[in-house]
């Protein structure tokens, strides 16, 4: 019996590739080349399944060129790189990897926020440059995290995990903005208070962005929102590039209209707005919030579980569009 052919679009753990080979005829990418859209489309020819990361864009043109494709399994929780409606319209299953990265991403978001507040990257660069000659009372004096007001935009799984760290570990007052208010059972243990978006920017000492990208969220943080923030406040983004207007942020940081920022995601990444590279008061990391060995392995395993289930008639654990699945 011929086995389904699948494409693994980027390098992943060899153990995960080996498991996929038990079920499929696997074409992988051990060199980890980032293929162009045309190349990805061509390499998917004849494949029933695609194992992808956030770097591969799945759109209607790619789907039309590959009508044999049955499942697209991304090892990410965010899925704005996939046109889910186009997949659903063509009966293509899409799966993602929620939950397994929640706590790891929250750890990193909190660490970034602390790094910005306490000026860690800026002061480390200063020390490495051999510029530390004496102690002074205001050298790299930042702002406190404990007891401060934490403003979370996007109070989903990761937002709530960051709120837990802030409220229970650091005695922070948590305010949040979300499309819908959370149940009292979630709010109360955290002392979390729903506020409108402008109030969040005005009142928070540390704003953390954790909302999914959508066209409605494009530049949801721009010049206007940055102007609402306290001059002592920080902004942390572990969500997606494009949510923040990076040019406006670079300008606000350069003019010290906010104290500092910490960014793990960027518009047009891996390119970074040159203005952000020039200002000292920003911590920049290359989209690694979920990058611990254990969590990346859990993400890859879950994406593989989804692909195996999708193409062997079982029920995938984490589908985005389960409506395309027939009875299983």
Among 49, 54, 109, 151, binds ligand DGY (CB under 6 A): 54
Q: How far is the CB of 77 from ligand DGY (least distance, A)?
A: 4
Give the residue with the Cβ less far from ligand DGY, 147 or 286. Answer: 286
Residue 268's region, left for phi above 0, alpha for psi from -120 to 50, else beta, is left
Residue 316's nearest CA partner among 124, 51, 33, 38 is 51
Residue of 21, 193, 219, 287 marked catalytic: 287
The answer to whether 95 and 320 are in contact (CB under 8 A) is yes
Tokens of 89: 């319209």
Instruction: Count CA within 13 A, CB hemisphere, residue 156.
Output: 17
d(CA 294, CA 325): 30
224 is annotated as an active-site residue: no
Q: How far is the CB of 223 from ligand DGY (least distance, A)?
A: 26
CB atoms within 10 A of CB 32: 11
Residue 149 touching ligand DGY (CB under 6 A): no
Residue 102 touching ligand DGY (CB under 6 A): no
Count of residues touching ligand DGY (by CB under 6 A): 6
Among 78, 91, 191, 275, binds ligand DGY (CB under 6 A): 78
Give the residue with the Cβ less far from ligand DGY, 142 or 316. Answer: 316
Give the residue with the Cβ less far from ligand DGY, 156 or 322. Answer: 156
Q: Peptide bond before 54: cis, by omega within 30 degrees of 0?
A: no
Q: How far is the CB of 226 from ligand DGY (least distance, A)?
A: 23
CA dihedral in degrees (298, 79, 186, 261; nearest 10)? 90
The answer to whether 311 and 4 are in contact (CB under 8 A) is yes
Give the residue with the Cβ less far from ligand DGY, 54 or 142. Answer: 54
Residue 109 touching ligand DGY (CB under 6 A): no
Task: Give residues 237-296 in contact with ligand DGY (rule: CB under 6 A).
Answer: 290
Q: Please name every residue paired with 248 in a beta bridge, in sequence order, or none if there are none.
A: none
Residue 77 touching ligand DGY (CB under 6 A): yes
- In sequence order, which residues have a C-beta less than 8 Å from that of residue 146 and are 6 or more positions away? 170, 171, 172
315 is annotated as an active-site residue: no
269 is annotated as an active-site residue: yes
Residue 76 touching ligand DGY (CB under 6 A): yes
Q: How far is the CB of 78 from ligand DGY (least distance, A)?
A: 3
Backbone angles phi, psi at 240, to 5 degrees: -150, 150
Q: How far is the CB of 244 from ligand DGY (least distance, A)?
A: 15
Question: Active-site residue numbers?
Answer: 240, 269, 287
Residues near ligand DGY (CB under 6 A):
54, 76-78, 101, 290
């Amino acid at each position: 019996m011929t086995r389904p052919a699948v494409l693994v679009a980027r390098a992943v753990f060899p153990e995960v590739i080996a498991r996929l080979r038990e079920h499929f005829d696997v074409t992988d990418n051990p060199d980890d080349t980032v293929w162009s859209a045309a190349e990805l489309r061509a390499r998917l020819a004849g494949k029933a399944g695609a194992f992808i990361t956030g770097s591969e864009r799945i759109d209607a043109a790619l789907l039309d060129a590959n009508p044999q494709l049955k499942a697209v399994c991304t090892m990410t929780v965010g899925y704005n790189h996939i046109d889910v409606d186009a997949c659903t319209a063509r009966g293509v299953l899409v799966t993602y990897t929620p939950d397994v990265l929640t706590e790891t991403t929250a750890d990193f978001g909190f660490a970034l926020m602390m790094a910005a507040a306490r000026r860690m990257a800026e002061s480390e660069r200063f020390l490495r440059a051999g510029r530390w000659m004496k102690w002074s009372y205001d050298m790299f004096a930042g702002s406190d995290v404990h007891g401060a007001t934490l403003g979370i935009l996007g109070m989903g799984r990761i937002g709530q995990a960051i709120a837990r760290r802030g409220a229970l570990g650091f005695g922070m007052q948590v305010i949040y903005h979300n499309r819908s208010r959370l149940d009292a059972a979630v709010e109360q243990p955290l002392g979390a208070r729903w506020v409108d978006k402008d109030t969040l920017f005005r009142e928070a000492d540390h704003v953390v962005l954790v909302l999914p990208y959508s066209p409605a969220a494009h530049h949801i943080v721009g010049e206007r929102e940055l102007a609402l923030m306290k001059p002592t406040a920080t902004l942390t983004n572990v969500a997606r590039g494009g949510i923040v207007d990076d040019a406006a942020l670079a300008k606000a940081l350069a003019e010290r209209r906010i104290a500092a920022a910490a960014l793990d995601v960027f518009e047009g990444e891996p390119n970074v707005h040159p203005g952000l590279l020039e200002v000292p008061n920003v911590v920049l990391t290359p989209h690694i919030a979920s990058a611990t060995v254990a969590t990346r392995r859990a993400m890859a395993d879950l994406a593989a579980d989804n692909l195996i289930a999708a193409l062997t008639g079982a029920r995938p654990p984490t589908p985005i569009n389960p409506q395309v699945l027939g009875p299983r």
